[in-house]
Structure 1
Amino acid sequence: MLLSSLAAMAQNAPLTFTTVERPPFSMDAIGERSGFSIDLMRAIAKELGRPIKFQPVETFGEMLSSVEEGRSDGAIANISITAAREQVMDFSQPIFESGLQIMLPEEERSASLFSVIVTRDIAFFLLSAFGALFSIGMLMWVFERKRQPYFQRPFKEALFPSFWWALNLVVNGGFEERVPQTRVGRFFGVMLVVSSLFVVSIFVAKITAAMTVAAISENVDSINDIEGRAIATTAGSTGEAFLAARGIAFTPYTKLADMLTDFENGEIDAVVFDGPILAWYLQSRSKESGRLVERVFKRENYGIALPTGSPLTEDINRALLALRENGTTDELQRKYFGN
């Protein structure tokens, strides 16, 4: 009799689930927890006929430790189901399909034409070209000033007209009425026209190369494309395991909020984390502070974490199936993620 009474009391006792701030899966909405995972867990508890309370903690690791050590009935947030975690705790059936994505600063999307073209190499090339044109123009003034009416002017007055003559010869092929009259002048004129073909070709090639490099650098097709930048993820996350397995240097943050703050302040060049959370973060900004690389670099499933051997596992899985069948799960997904 006593044992049956204790069993009944345990069956009706409130469930205590640990969680952590992870919008839009778990978040504090004016003193009350909300989010996709929170609302789903409330619906599960209702199916089980059990009251439920949520215990927020500061870090993701602390949340998992509470489950592993049996200090809570389970944990709910954006908890990826992994083989390593399965060794120390149990998981429900998957509740959400996710994956790791990369967030980059918005300004890296596409550099302006000005910033692409105005580089040190191209600036040096342009200055050298203008200097050469000026020198050739002044040489033509020396050779042609007594034979060509256009060059019959004092030195100071001839500075710009001589340069202008050389520039027009390169760009437009010169003017028929300003054809050099001396042999030396004609030789220099022909050499300038021929060499200008190579000069213009080199200039166009440099501009094309600069724009091609800019286009390539803004595309992140592989995780190795961000190597060498200031990369961050959260400690104990699947993002940390993903980067560590590939030998990519990164900064692990204990708190997601601290990492996002440093990203906004420009102290981080790339964030590797759960795609849905990064997408929610960008959409919630008054002005976009970053962009999300569309490619999913590692697909994952979220689940409800439970202590090893928990008697709740089967009941929760049955409740999840019922919620999928009656459309509750789809309704919650539309609520938080749209169609």
Structure 2
Amino acid sequence: MTRLVCWVFSAALIVVASVAQAQDLRVATVEREPFSMMSEGGFEGFSIDLMNRVTEDLGLSVEYILYDSFSGMLDAVETEDVDAAIANISITADRETRMDFSQPMFDSGIQVMVQSEQGMSPSVFTALFTKQIGIAVLSALALLFGGGMLMWVFERKAQPYFDRPLKDAPFPAFWWALNLVVNGGFEERMPQSRAGRFFAVGLVISSLFIVSIFVAQITAALTINAISENIQDLNDLDGRRIGTIEGSTSASFLDVRDLSHIGFADTEALFQEYEAGGIDAVVFDSPILAYYVAERSGGDARLLDRVYRAENYGIAFPTDSELRERVDRVLLGLREQGVFDELTTKWFGTAYSGR
């Protein structure tokens, strides 16, 4: 009898221990400011706060497991290595075929971040220091130098100004050609030889076209530069260096639009490259870009007004997870209690209210 009681008691302890162990949820996440972040005190962020409230209402404890990549986090959900995953996980049709999702917990979308007006370099300097303008200036100088030296060949025995040895001729010859093109030349230095007069008349006439082409090059460069800096729409990004997160819904969106882009493993590397000037624009999730502009850009970045392809974030679960329905009920209750609004204000301020 005593043995039976001990056996029953031991079995009960094992069951209780198993149940207690089952209460620990393993939740995968990645660092995505301000949804999930590592700090000295542990994990924090909008998604972390929300998950803590959910598990608290369910009477469960939670263990967060940090993954290096978004794909690694989602793979862990598929293989059931974790009970759930939370961060800024967009609910898509493709992902729904591989895992289950809670009801939407955050309204998002794809947005474009570019340099702000105050962070732009003056257009005139940007336009003038270009390869095309440099080639035009060098071509003009070469033409003036060549024309002046050719005039020296024609006139060196016909008038005193050009009567000088070769080593002393280059600058006076160049100076004569420059004044001929700019001021029409000097009367006292009018060509005397027949070849010199014929060449001077041709140089003056051709200089009209040379000056017109040179001015047109500068005007075109300034116009193109002003247009290219005025990015107001996704179409203005054609030919620009675009950055996003590899494997994200934003990357898929850019692929569909046939816009070439550079993929980064995480947002920290993406923003560092943007700050270093390696990319001209960032296309990614609206709330994350809004947080960066408000908290880290120092006024050097802005968001285009339009939000492309609205998306919803959700909590990911392995397929047919029994936990999903319980979490959905808690999420509904938290929304009714205003917890979502409180967390949005806490992490994004009053200016951002979702999309």
TM-score (norm 1): 0.71
Which residue is equivalent to 1:129? 143
Change (3 A) 1:206 1:272: same
Give the AA of the match of 2:246: T
Change (3 A) 1:178 1:36: farther
CA RMSD of aligned residues (A): 4.6
Unaligned runs of 5+ in 2: 1-11
Among 204, 210, 225, the residue aligned to 2:238 = 225
C-alpha distance in 1 between matches for 2:63 and 2:239: 38
Change (3 A) 1:94 1:187: same
Among 194, 209, 214, the residue aligned to 1:198 = 209
Which residue is equivalent to 2:96? 86
Which residue is equivalent to 1:18? 28
Bigger CA drift: 89-98 or 251-260? 251-260
Q: Tell me by how many angstroms 1:119 deviates.
A: 5.2
C-alpha distance in 2 between matches for 1:70 and 1:128: 72
C-alpha distance in 1 between matches for 2:199 and 2:157: 10
Q: Conserved in 1, the CA contact under 8 Å of 2:102 and 2:324?
A: yes
C-alpha distance in 1 between matches for 2:331 and 2:144: 73
Give the AA of the match of 1:307: P
Q: Tell me by how many angstroms 1:145 deviates.
A: 1.7
Change (3 A) 1:178 1:291: farther
Q: Conserved in 2, the CA contact under 8 Å of 1:226 and 1:270?
A: no
Q: Conserved in 2, the CA contact under 8 Å of 1:133 and 1:167?
A: no
Which residue is equivalent to 2:42? 32
C-alpha distance in 2 between matches for 1:186 and 1:61: 77
Q: Conserved in 2, the CA contact under 8 Å of 1:143 and 1:182?
A: no
C-alpha distance in 2 between matches for 1:286 and 1:105: 10
Structure 1 residues 267-282: aligned runs within 5 Å: 273-278=284-289, 280=291
Q: Conserved in 2, the CA contact under 8 Å of 1:97 and 1:302?
A: yes
1:303 aligns with 2:303: no
C-alpha distance in 2 between matches for 1:256 and 1:152: 67
C-alpha distance in 2 between matches for 1:231 and 1:272: 6
Q: SS where residue 336 of structure 1 aligns?
A: helix
1:74 aligns with 2:103: no
Which residue is equivalent to 2:54? 44
Q: Conserved in 1, the CA contact under 8 Å of 2:246 and 2:265?
A: yes
Q: SS where residue 130 of structure 2 aligns?
A: helix
Change (3 A) 1:56 1:270: farther
Which residue is equivalent to 2:246? 234
Structure 1 residues 120-159: aligned runs within 5 Å: 121-135=135-149, 138=152, 141-142=155-156, 145=159, 151=161, 154-155=164-165, 159=170
Change (3 A) 1:137 1:321: farther
Give the AA of the match of 1:138: W
Q: Tell me by how many angstroms 1:32 deviates.
A: 1.1
C-alpha distance in 1 between matches for 2:133 and 2:162: 39
Q: Conserved in 2, the CA contact under 8 Å of 1:104 and 1:269?
A: yes
Give the AA of the match of 1:44: V
Cα displacement string for residues 121-180 of structure 1 (whole angstroms, at most 9, x for unaligned residues)? 32442333332442365367548626xxxx3864576654443343233223345x5473
Give the AA of the match of 1:32: G
Structure 1 residues 312-327: aligned runs within 5 Å: 312-327=323-338
Change (3 A) 1:254 1:162: closer
Q: Conserved in 1, the CA contact under 8 Å of 2:100 and 2:321?
A: yes
Give the AA of the match of 1:85: R
Q: Conserved in 2, the CA contact under 8 Å of 1:117 and 1:207?
A: no
Cα displacement string for residues 263-288 of structure 1 (whole angstroms, at most 9, x for unaligned residues)? 77888887654344356557766889
